[in-house]
Structure 1
Amino acid sequence: MAEQFSEHKLHRYGAVLVILHVTPTFFFFNISSQEVLTRIENVILGVVTSLSKDEAPVLVLPNRSSWANVSFDSAVGLQMSSGNSVTTIRSDCPSSVTKFAHILKILSIIYKLIQSNSYATKRDIYYKDPQLFGSQRNVDFIVDDISCMLKVPRRTLHVLATSKGLISGDLCYLEEDGTRVDCHSSSIAVAVSSNVGGIKNIVSSAKFVMIVEKDATFQSLLDDDFCTKLCPCIMITGKGVPDVNSRLMVRKLWDTLHIPIFALVDADPHGTHLSRSMSFEAHSLTVPSVMWLGLLPSDLWRLKVPEDTLIPLTKRDESKLNSLLKRPYLTDQPEWQREMEVMQQSKVKAELQSLTAIAPDFLTSIYLPNKLRYGGWV
C-alpha cells in the first residue's frame, strides 16, 4: 500500500516514510506446538548432556542488544538476520547463574502451558515464584530471550502480555471466545486485546490507522470525535512506549485491512527512536511502512510554533540523537535523517501539545486535516 506514496510527496506534505520497530531466515512463523516442545527438549537435553560429562551447562543466546545482529530490509524494517554476536549464560559463573536458573524455570512453565494448550500472562509467571524472579522486569526480559533463543514468535510460547494500549474508531471484531468488540464509541476507547492472535472477523471502513504516542493526545482526539469528523479511521495508543499487544494489533490491522499507517509522536529524539530489542520478532511486531505524520521538527519552523513552547535539548537528548544518526539503517531513510538533523541543528524539541499555543483546536481542526487532505490520504 505504501508504494503508491512517493518520498517526494510524503515530504512535501509533511510526512516522512519510516520503518518502525524493528527475519526472513531467522524465524519460522508457521511453527507447530510440537516443534516448539521439541526445541525446548533439545535445550534441556544439552543441559543434561553437559552435566553427564561433568561439565558446566551453558546457554547461548543471540544478542538482542547488538547492531551486529540487525540488518535493514525495505519490506520489513529492522530485523534480526544473524547470530554474529551472542550472549553466553553460564551455570558456573556468579554473574549469570541466576539468569540461567530463571531461563530453565520459565522454560519448564512454557513447556507445561504448551502441553496443556493453556495460556498465562507474564504477570502470572512472575507470581509463580516472585522470590526467584526478583522482579517482573526480569521475567519480561527472559521471555523475550527464550523466544529469540528458540527462534519462534513469542505468541507460540503461550505467554501473553498484559495490554496497556487503547483503540478506537471504525472497527469491529470478534475475540477468540466469541465476544464481539465494537470500537466505534466516540467517547470511550477499548483496551487492546491480550490475545491479538485470536482476533477474527475484523470489519472496518477505515481509510487509515493512526498510532498516537501519548495517551493525553489520544484522549484529546477522542474528545473531538476525530475518527468520524474527517473520515472513518482507527486510532491506537500504547501510552508512551508501545506494548507488544499494541504492536501486534497494528500489524493485524495492516495484514487485514491494507490501509496506510501513520505515527503521531512528539518532535523529540525519543518519539523518533527505533527499537532494536524486538527486531528478532520483526515480522509479527512491525508493518512494512509507517508514515511519520508529525510532529516533525521541520513543522516547528514551518508553522512558527511559539518559541516559549519549545524545549531545549538536554545532554541526554543530544546523546540519543547522535546515537540515532549513527545507526546503519539511516542510509535507507534520508527524509527521516534530514528531520533529525533539523532537530540537531535547532537544539530544541516540542510536544504535540505545543500546537495548542497556535490555537486550542489546531491539531484536530487544522494540522491533521491539512496533512491528510493535501497528502491525498482522505
Structure 2
Amino acid sequence: MADHHRGDEENSFDVLNSIENVILEIVTHLSKSEAPALVLPNRSSWDNVSFDSAIGLQMSSTSAVRMIRSDCPKTATTFSQILKILSVMYTLVQSNTYATKRDIYYNHPQLFGSQKIVDKIVDDVSCMLKVPRRSLHILATSKGLISGDLCYLEEDGTRIDCHSSSAPCTDIVSSAKFVLVVEKDATFQRLLHDDFCTKLSPCIMITGKGFPDVNSRLMVRKLWDVLHVPVFTLVDADPHGIEIMCVYKYGSVAMSFEAESLTIPSVMWLGLLPSDLERLQVPRNALIPLTKTDENKLDSLLKRSYVTDQAEWLKELMLMKKNRFKAEIQSLAAIGPDFLTNIYLPNKLRFGGWL
C-alpha cells in the first residue's frame, strides 16, 4: 500500500512540475516584454492520428499544433481560460482533492460562457501536458449505466454491487462470462427488464447511452483488462451505430492521445449486422432508408484504415451501401416481442454469429 501511495505522490509531483513548466515559460516571455503563447496539439484532425491494430487510433508524435496567443483578439480569451483551468488543476493536485468539469464551469460561468468550452479546454490541457485527465484531478459526471454480475470498490471505499444498482474502481469481483456493450439506453433497459444478465450465463451489460463518454470507455477497458472475458457490442445496423462500436474498439480522433487506456482492440461486433436483416428477413416496414448524412458517414467509414483492414466488416458496410437501408435494434421486435432476448442474442452467443 505504501508503494501505491509513493507512486501517487510521484505522479502528483510530475503533474505539478508539468504545470509549473508551462507557467514558467509564460513568465519568462513576460519578463522579456514578449506576448506569451501556448501551443496545443490539434485534436480534431485525422491527419494527426496513426492507426495501430494493437492499440487503435494514436496521436502522432509529429502532430499539427495550433497557437493560442495572448496578444491576438481571436485567442486572448482562450488563453485566459486555459490559464484559469491550469490554476484550478494545480490547486486540486496539490491539495489531493477532485472536482468535476461541471464544478469548474459553475464556479466561473462568466469566464467560460458554456460547459462545452470547459470540457474542450480540460481535454486540450490534458493533451498538451500529456497527462490523463484523471491525474489532473478532474472528473466527468458519467452518463453511462452498468448492470450484471459485478462488484467493485469506488475510490472513496464505497462497495458497488451492479446486481442492484446502476464509476475509477478497484477490487473488481465478477464471474461474468462476457461483457455486452449496448449502444442505446432503450435496448439496455429492455434487456434489463428481460433479466438477460442471468438467463443465458452471468454477464455484465454496459451502455454509454449513444456516443460513449470517457468514463464508459474507461470502465469497459478496465473490465477487459481485469476479467479477460470477451467484449461484444450490440449497436444499430446504421453508420452511426458502427462508428460508436469503432470508438470502443479503436478510439476517437479527439482522445487519441489517451488511446492506450481507452480502447479495446479485441471488441467483437455481435449485431445488429446488415447481413442479419436479410438472414432473418426483418420485415421491410421495419427498415429505414439511408439519409444523405448516413451515406456520407458510411463513405467516411469505408475510407478508414481500421475498416479496410477487416474484410468481414467491409463486406457488411458494402452490403448496407448496396441495399441503402438501415435498421435499429428494436426492428427485431417486428419478428416477435421477445425475439432479441430469447432467440437473437442466445443464438449469436452460442453459435458464434459475431465478427
Scaled by the length of structure 1, the TM-score of the pair is 0.87
- Give, as a single letter, the amino acid of the residue that structure 1 aligns with 2:220: V
Q: CA deviation at 1:61?
A: 1.3
Correspondence 1:362 to 2:339: yes
Q: CA deviation at 1:55?
A: 2.0
Q: Where do residues 259-274 of structure 1 align in structure 2 (5 Å cutoff)?
A: 259-273=229-243, 274=247
Alignment-derived partner of residue 157 in structure 1: 136
Find the partner of 1:109 among 85, 88, 101: 88
Alignment-derived partner of residue 305 in structure 2: 328
Alignment-derived partner of residue 181 in structure 1: 160
What are the Cα deviations for residues 64-111 of structure 1, in whole angstroms up to 9, with x where unaligned?
111222111121111213233112212222222221111111000000
Q: Where do residues 92-241 of structure 1 align in structure 2 (5 Å cutoff)?
A: 92-185=71-164, 189-190=165-166, 193=167, 196=168, 199-241=169-211
Alignment-derived partner of residue 32 in structure 1: 11
Q: CA deviation at 1:31?
A: 6.8
Choose between structure 1 and 2: higher helix proportion: 2
The range that moved more, 225-234 or 336-345, is 336-345
Whole-Å separation in 1 of the counterparts to 2:11 and 2:307: 36
Whole-Å separation in 1 of the counterparts to 2:328 and 2:255: 26
Alignment-derived partner of residue 4 in structure 2: none
Figure out how many residues of one structure are paired with residues of the other and give that number. 340
Whole-Å separation in 2 of the counterparts to 1:282 and 1:217: 27
Q: CA deviation at 1:242?
A: 1.1
What SS does the corresponding residue of 1:155 show, helix, strand or coil? helix
Whole-Å separation in 2 of the counterparts to 1:50 and 1:302: 66
What's the RMSD between the two structures over aligned residues? 1.7
Alignment-derived partner of residue 320 in structure 2: 343
- Give, as a single letter, the amino acid of the residue that structure 1 aligns with 2:273: L
Whole-Å separation in 1 of the counterparts to 2:33 and 2:224: 51
Whole-Å separation in 2 of the counterparts to 1:96 and 1:307: 52
Correspondence 1:78 to 2:57: yes
Alignment-derived partner of residue 13 in structure 1: none
Runs of 4+ with deviation above 3 angstroms: none
What are the Cα deviations for residues 257-284 of structure 1, in whole angstroms up to 9, with x where unaligned?
0111111111111111143211111111
What SS does the corresponding residue of 2:72 show, helix, strand or coil? coil
C-alpha contact 2:49 2:63 (8 A) present in aligned 1? no
What are the Cα deviations for residues 161-187 of structure 1, in whole angstroms up to 9, with x where unaligned?
1011111001111222222211123xx
Q: Specify which structure has the bigger relative contact order, considering alpha-carbon pairs within 8 angstroms and separated by 6 or more residues.
A: 1
- Residue identity over aligned pairs, in percent, reads 74
Find the partner of 2:278 among 283, 287, 301: 301
Correspondence 1:249 to 2:219: yes
Q: CA deviation at 1:30?
A: 11
What are the Cα deviations for residues 227-271 of structure 1, in whole angstroms up to 9, with x where unaligned?
000000000011111111111111111111011111111111111
